[in-house]
Structure 1
Amino acid sequence: MTPHDLGVLFDDLADAGTPTRFHLDRPFDLTPAPSGTGVTGVAGVTEWTVPELALLVRETAGALAAAGAGPGERVAIVKANHWDYDLIACAAIRTGAVPVKLSDHLAPGALRVLLDRCAPRVLVTDLDVLGRDPTVDLVGTARTTLVLGSSGDLPRGTVHLDDLSGHPDPGPHPRDDHAPLVVVHTSGTTGVPKLVSHTTRTLVHHLARFETLPVPRIGLRRDDILFNSSSYAHGRTICWTAVAPTRAPRHISVDSGGRPETADLLLRAHPPTVVEALPSRYVRLRPLTRRLDSPFRDVRTYISTYDAVHPPVIRSYLQASSRRRPVWMQGWGQSETGPLTFAFHTRRSVARAADGAATTVRDLGRPVPLKTRLKAVDPITFRPVPAGSPGLILCRTRALAPDYVGERERWTAKRHGSWWNTGDIATIARDGSVRLLDREVDHLPGFSCLQAEDMLEDRLSEALECVVLARTGTDPLPVVVTEDGTLDPASWKRASDGLPALAEPVVVGWDEVPRTGTGKVRRAALLERLTGSTETCGTGRWT
């Protein structure tokens, strides 16, 4: 089965007899009412079948339609992290509306800006989001605001989702393949995120269908057990939702919290053969790989997107598998484009060198065959640079989203003829392989922050994460994240020996680092917090 209309996705899967069972680390926020909804998935339930999910989507579509969702309208979703983000999105699509997925990690002020840009007819949210900053009115951005979760004292002008239960399913509303299907936002590492509008053509035809191909070794199989730990507000997961169930694996486990103690229970109940997670989730769950009875013992494929993953993390997970040749697949791309390249790592490729030299995994692989073209250009003249020389990366892909919502000028500024400006600095070798250096806004000529981070993490076993911040007129500032916020000076001296000149490190705990909803470090915010300045080495013109 290949996906097409996300509004009837689970109906089609149910009609096809898809046997996949879904397991959650906690119940959906969409189903808190103890009175039930006609399916087994009510309060406290963490296991679902495909027919139950299909009914839940239809019932949610009925509630959204009663709230005003319909063809041409927008439904904004911002709530606690869970996979029901995508179920609500499927329900909105079923009504003919366009879902807008927004992370609850966004600051209230930034969230208000994005809601004003998308002007939703319906806002689906929770009391935690609405109550974070009384000075920021989120309710006023939509005609109807639906509240999920426990019912209690609701803010004025809001309606609890339960109050609209029982309204009839409006039935599917097919749309033109070039019409807006879903709006997602970029990570927002440098400020207010951009709203990216995808269509059925870009998201389903060119991204999702490509992933449904039965690729040997890495494609999902019917005997697989899939574990996903992600930020479900972001664009990757709506594509994942369109793909993973159609491959009909035996089990799909969904982790919303990224906490080792709860993820461990889910992993042990259904030991996965395929794992997909945010880079930050891989870091946080890494202690589980050190156990003798590793819950990752049967994993054959690890999948990572969104951000850089450093060698020690990859090495830990590959070693935790009892399979002969487990593979780590690293995808590089953007919300606007989907994946542009894939790189594959093995135990051998990330093994420590015999001479003790640090390992780096900045090689991003080659462009997706027949789907993507890349070139490196001078950031000032936009003329191609020689093979192997650092340049600004431009791409061509049919999966490119057609617009930014409310920021057409910003979209136009990133187009260069028929090419799209990724805003990344990298090298492209003669064989087409890409080696990422940095985001342009963070790049210091002659130096790669990402490569320095690779090398530091490879040498500092106590580091959860290393972040190197480039600055103008002075040495780059290394930030070392440890469990307890301390670092032995002798360890730092050994780790930094032989590297380019770095300032004295700042040592912090995990929670002291400002992050996006996907766990990416907000480098500008971190730099400002530590130095009082946000001035970086790049121009930031294409962020």
Structure 2
Amino acid sequence: MPVPADLPKPGKLFSLGLMTQQAALRHPDSLFYLDKPFDLAPELGMRPTYAQVADLVEDTAARLYALGVRAGDVVGVYKTHNADLLFLACALARIGAVPAMLAPFLEWETVTIMMDRLRPAHFVTDAAKIAVSGEHGDRLRVIVPSTVLTHGRAAGLPSLEDAPADRRPPYHDLPADDPALITHTSGTTGVPKMVAAARRGTQLPINMQARLARWLRYSETYAMCISFVHSRTYAALATALELGINIAALTDADVDNVRKIFLECRPGGVEAHPNMYTHWEELADDPDGPLESVRIFMSTFDAIHPRSIRVMLGASRRRWPIFLQSYGQTETGPVTMRLYTRRNIRRADGRCVGHPFIGMTKARIRPRPGVDDGTRHGFIEATSTGLGITYVGQQELYDERRDGDWWNLQDIGYKSRWGCLHLLDREFDQTPELASMLAAEDTILDQLPTLTEAVFVSLPGGIQPVVCTRRDKPLDRTAWAAAVAGLPQVADPVHIAWDEMPHTATWKVKRNVLAERLADGTIPTLDEVKPLI
């Protein structure tokens, strides 16, 4: 279904349901670089244009409308990992529904718990997901009145493939303070919490990035390898569409896949999760230079290891490459930002995550009750114009975290005399043996470039390091001993494959799950070292 030229203008606030259409009217021939065809429209191939994607959004919206999705409906989305997740959310918003996006890597047991909290009017999935749902699929049918397949056929469920697309749904412009998008936290400490963002709140990261793009005069291809269901990704997409630039949307963070796409599209900007950059460091030595065109590297929400920043900046052949690190959470959006160059990264403190955005965010440190350790360390709290309006189905938990306009990020840190924020640890990861586990991990990774991950886990027997090496090569234990010589006593490291490291859709390590697997002996190791019990 082609995009009509008379679509309403979305006004001053971001419109998830209209952004692809408005971009297509201005920049119809700009490209998307894909590494996997859309499940929703495989016939578009690997290089669809803005115009084709906008048509896909209109077509999908019409099919969803034909199957009963209406303005105001909350719709859970849980489908196979693919960039078309972005445009499925756009199609739902085009109708005026509220998409609730779930990471494709969640287990069905977790999905049913989240849907029980959400109680959506519809649930959108695909045949591959239904095929492995088992008893949880039966539970889902009790919770949700309507289940729709994006593609394929299973269990007699209606599929978008069979729905008519001949009736264009009316456009509903959502009120500024009503929920417009529901995403979820990473789930590092349990079942992810679903965060409802108002349309006004989704504007914060778009404003921030648009200002930055204008300041940098950015107009090159932008490559993203970030979770397609994360709130951050929609802000990044909206900004790129507004600029009219080519967009590489990668589903696979594997080094060889990234190399192939980057050599073709030669991005000027790259955004990925911190642990992805660590794995991509080997691309810096590639003689074909897949990273040499990059002018701006970006990483959001988690603090990144300084080693990865140094390697990325060193791999670029641009005169003044920069690395932008943003810190925040799903609940707040970006809270602080720090800019790195080749010069300042040499003396950078990896725990410094920068300053708040003037006029949009603030940060403060609240002392921990009953803790007087002689330091300035405390709970990091923030105010943000992008603060989520609730945890869906968990309002009491949301209220516990909020104090007026201030939100407790449940991270431990401090502010320097210059006002920059320093992140030390998650509250749940603190241990008396180390002032900062994250700082200790930075130290190890700086000294051992063959490591792709070093995680310190607190177990009853002490501090247990768990490490991964590049392409699972043997660990140099002599070098390890030298690297930890200046740290408090820790156990011998357990060496595991990266694929065995429990992590979230944004590649955060689930330390609690890792600790449980170490304790019960269910995690396979690559050597003879046994974990502390």
TM-score, structure 1 normalization: 0.89
Q: Which residue of 2 aligns with 1:361?
A: 350
- State which of 288, 293, 301 in structure 1 corresponds to 2:296: 301
Report the CA distance between 1:131 and its aligned residue.
2.6
Is 1:448 paired with 2:436? yes
Tell me if the contact between 1:2 and 1:212 (Cα under 8 Å) persists in the aligned partners: no
Q: Which residue of 2 aligns with 1:212?
A: 210
Distance 2:150 2:213 in 1: 39
Report the CA distance between 1:434 and its aligned residue.
0.9
Q: 1:390 to 1:89 in 2, by over 3 A?
A: same
Once the two structures are overlaid, the 10-residue window that deviates more, 320-329 or 309-318, is 309-318
Kindly report which structure 2 residues correspond to 1:65-80, keeping only aligned pairs within 5 A, or say none: 65-80=65-80
Code of the aligned partner of 1:185: H
Q: Secondary structure at the match of 1:80?
A: coil
Q: Which residue of 2 aligns with 1:479?
A: 466
Distance 2:353 2:300 in 1: 11
Report the CA distance between 1:160 and its aligned residue.
1.9
Tell me if the contact between 1:486 and 1:508 (Cα under 8 Å) persists in the aligned partners: no
Once the two structures are overlaid, the 10-residue window that deviates more, 334-343 or 273-282, is 273-282
Q: Which residue of 2 aligns with 1:23?
A: 33
Runs of 4+ in 1 over 6 A off after TM superposition: none
Report the CA distance between 1:451 and its aligned residue.
0.4
Code of the aligned partner of 1:229: C
Give CA-to-partner distance per residue, 1:347-403, whole Å, 9 cap, x none. 23333x7xxxxx7511101111122111111221699x99x7111011111211111
Distance 1:468 1:248 in 2: 43
Q: Which residue of 2 aligns with 1:184?
A: 183
Q: Which residue of 1 aligns with 2:134?
A: 134
Report the CA distance between 1:210 and its aligned residue.
2.8
- State which of 359, 364, 375 in structure 2 corresponds to 1:375: 364
Code of the aligned partner of 1:470: S
Tell me if the contact between 2:301 and 2:334 (Cα under 8 Å) persists in the aligned partners: no
Once the two structures are overlaid, the 10-residue window that deviates more, 297-306 or 10-19, is 10-19
- Aligned CA RMSD, in angstroms, stands at 2.2
Tell me if the contact between 1:68 and 1:121 (Cα under 8 Å) persists in the aligned partners: no
Tell me if the contact between 2:13 and 2:200 (Cα under 8 Å) persists in the aligned partners: no
Q: 1:284 to 1:200 in 2, by over 3 A?
A: same
Is 1:263 paired with 2:250? no
Report the CA distance between 1:416 and its aligned residue.
2.0
Q: Which residue of 2 aligns with 1:38?
A: none
Report the CA distance between 1:146 and its aligned residue.
2.1
Code of the aligned partner of 1:514: P
Kindly report which structure 2 residues correspond to 1:271-350, keeping only aligned pairs within 5 A, or say none: 271-350=266-345
Q: Which residue of 2 aligns with 1:541?
A: none
Q: 1:120 to 1:373 in 2, by over 3 A?
A: same
Report the CA distance between 1:127 and its aligned residue.
2.5
Give CA-to-partner distance per residue, 1:445-469, whole Å, 9 cap, x none. 4520100110101111221111111
Q: Which residue of 1 aligns with 2:6?
A: none
Is 1:163 paired with 2:162? yes
Report the CA distance between 1:485 and its aligned residue.
6.2
Tell me if the contact between 1:231 and 1:517 (Cα under 8 Å) persists in the aligned partners: yes
Tell me if the contact between 1:59 and 1:165 (Cα under 8 Å) persists in the aligned partners: no
Distance 2:212 2:406 in 1: 30
Tell me if the contact between 2:13 and 2:199 (Cα under 8 Å) persists in the aligned partners: no
Is 1:507 paired with 2:495? yes
Q: Which residue of 1 aligns with 2:4?
A: none
Distance 1:139 1:243 in 2: 37
Distance 1:271 1:2 in 2: 33
Once the two structures are overlaid, the 10-residue window that deviates more, 423-432 or 124-133, is 124-133
Distance 1:111 1:22 in 2: 30
Code of the aligned partner of 2:38: F
Distance 2:409 2:269 in 1: 29
Report the CA distance between 1:140 and its aligned residue.
4.3
Give CA-to-partner distance per residue, 1:177-197, whole Å, 9 cap, x none. 111101000000010000000
Q: Which residue of 2 aligns with 1:467?
A: 455
Report the CA distance between 1:199 and its aligned residue.
0.9
The runs of 5 or more residues in structure 1 that have no matched partner are 33-41, 354-358, 534-543
Tell me if the contact between 1:186 and 1:196 (Cα under 8 Å) persists in the aligned partners: yes
- State which of 373, 395, 406 in structure 1 corresponds to 2:382: 395
Q: Secondary structure at the match of 1:470?
A: strand
Q: Which residue of 2 aligns with 1:237?
A: 233
Distance 2:19 2:214 in 1: 25
Report the CA distance between 1:440 and its aligned residue.
0.4
Distance 1:53 1:109 in 2: 33
Tell me if the contact between 1:67 and 1:144 (Cα under 8 Å) persists in the aligned partners: no
Distance 1:437 1:456 in 2: 15
Is 1:221 paired with 2:218? yes
Report the CA distance between 1:220 and its aligned residue.
5.9
Q: Secondary structure at the match of 1:333?
A: strand
Give CA-to-partner distance per residue, 1:128-186, whole Å, 9 cap, x none. 3223341212344433222234x35x124x12220114242203111111111010000
Distance 1:276 1:403 in 2: 28
Identity among equivalent pairs (%)? 33
Q: Which residue of 2 aligns with 1:143?
A: 145
Q: 1:70 to 1:106 in 2, by over 3 A?
A: same
Give CA-to-partner distance per residue, 1:405-451, whole Å, 9 cap, x none. 00000000101233111100001112211111000011124520100
Give CA-to-partner distance per residue, 1:243-286, whole Å, 9 cap, x none. 2110222x211111112222222111111111011223223333
Report the CA distance between 1:470 and its aligned residue.
2.9
Q: 1:118 to 1:456 in 2, by over 3 A?
A: same
Is 1:494 paired with 2:482? yes
Q: Secondary structure at the match of 2:506?
A: coil
Q: Secondary structure at the match of 2:237?
A: helix
Distance 2:404 2:160 in 1: 46
Is 1:173 paired with 2:183? no
Distance 1:333 1:440 in 2: 15
Code of the aligned partner of 2:241: P
Give CA-to-partner distance per residue, 1:76-106, whole Å, 9 cap, x none. 1111222211211111111111000001111
- State which of 384, 404, 416 in structure 2 corresponds to 1:417: 404
Distance 1:2 1:233 in 2: 24
Report the CA distance between 1:501 and its aligned residue.
2.0
Report the CA distance between 1:287 and its aligned residue.
2.2
Q: Secondary structure at the match of 2:413?
A: strand
Report the CA distance between 1:295 and its aligned residue.
0.9
Tell me if the contact between 1:230 and 1:281 (Cα under 8 Å) persists in the aligned partners: no
Q: 1:241 to 1:444 in 2, by over 3 A?
A: same
Distance 1:167 1:488 in 2: 63
Q: 1:72 to 1:382 in 2, by over 3 A?
A: farther
Report the CA distance between 1:56 and its aligned residue.
0.8
Tell me if the contact between 1:2 and 1:209 (Cα under 8 Å) persists in the aligned partners: no
Is 1:524 paired with 2:475? no
Code of the aligned partner of 2:17: G
Kindly report which structure 2 residues correspond to 1:41-80, keeping only aligned pairs within 5 A, or say none: 42=43, 45-80=45-80
